[in-house]
A and B are shown apart, each in its own frame.
Chain A
Amino acid sequence: MADHEHAEHTEHIVPPRTYMIIIFSLLCLTAATVAAAYVNLGPLNIVVALVIATMKATLVVLFFMHAKYSPKRTKLVIMAGIFWLAILLFMTLSDYASRVDYRGIRYPMTQNIALVPSPRA
């Protein structure tokens, strides 16, 4: 039918052995993320946590969800999802990261609120 390029695609069956390796890796990564949380890495803590989480998610997507063996179109859909999520997150954060109020204070701008003479009193 349409998109004949996929017509020859036959189902790829992932053997249980692969699944076992993946679940083992996932459990190890879980242990790693908990361990990393107890080490003071400063601002890097969140980065490490997210990197490990992304590794885990990638394993799940590629193997448990068979994305590795899926047609290109599926991969395109996944990439589109990640891309649009990035638009949502990063373009919004760009506003917060560059917001400065009249006192030169960055977001949230509620600090030292008492410095402003309140007309409400």
Chain B
Amino acid sequence: MADWQIDLIKVVFIWVWALLIAVVMTWVERRASAMMQDRLGPNRAGPFGLLQPLADGIKLFTKEDIIPERARKILFILGPPLFALPAFSAYAVVPFGDKIVLGGKEIILQVSDVNIGFLYVLALGAIGVYGMVIGGWASNSKYSILGGLRATAQLISYEVPMGLALLTIVLLYGTFSLREIVLQQQGTFLGFLPNWGFFKQPLGFIIFMVAAYAEANRVPFDLPECESELVTGYHTEYGSMRLGLYLFGEYVNMGTLAAITVSLFFGGWGLPYVDMSRFLGPVSYGIASFFVFFLKQAFFLFLFVWVRWTVPRFRYDQLMGLGWKALIPLGLINLFITALLVQLTT
């Protein structure tokens, strides 16, 4: 088993895993929203409707692929992949588990431990915006252009508070690499609290979560694709699998953001008070750590769905107002205070 083969397996595994999360998420979204709204949700395709995402996928595949009149053809085709691929590639730096010993070789459960870590994720988030804007502009419809316009303003202006919140994490742990940050979050802090970023940086966590909802276009911030005003915004003119790619990209984006939240603020794969490596074998420990990570990520994915079916939508200028007038000043103050504290304590 040469090194590159192991990496290939890891890449394929995380690619399939991201797809699986996105597929299951469509089902979770429809069932959870049904349960919250006193309905049943899909329960015909397979037990509890579990094959419904498969049915949706087939439906999207078989639909006719329409390119609207006088749309810019190349950009129209380029839009969806440009939106979906950055979301997939952001999984590369996600530490989805500790390490596993297989055939005498120690494998780190992370595709690549890049030392600039979540800066890479931020950069990919910015590229994702291009997918929306190009798709909106190329489909030659006023609603799409408005959707694309809103997408640019919203995502660019919410990258700033997200960056500020992440800067405070860098101040705390001194490194960008996600794996080191998760390693530093094991153990306890002030005696009883687990040594998580959430307890050290509550304000940073809130700013990051709000910015993450804006990044993923989830409800309070889903103006670029709201169906009541802009007839599903930038992907109005899209049809079969291109629309599928857009919707898929959205769920994969949610998965990435949930993974980043877990690894930065909730201690990645470690359980709070229990050090699993002591009483679990090397192989089972790797799988257990992966499982814990997935559980935490699942909770945050469910939170995305939960908030979506409870809260109304912002208006465009309130969205901007919240971003610039509330989150960025808060982020700066938070950065200043943490810098002060870190300077005094070390």
Whether chains A and B associate is no
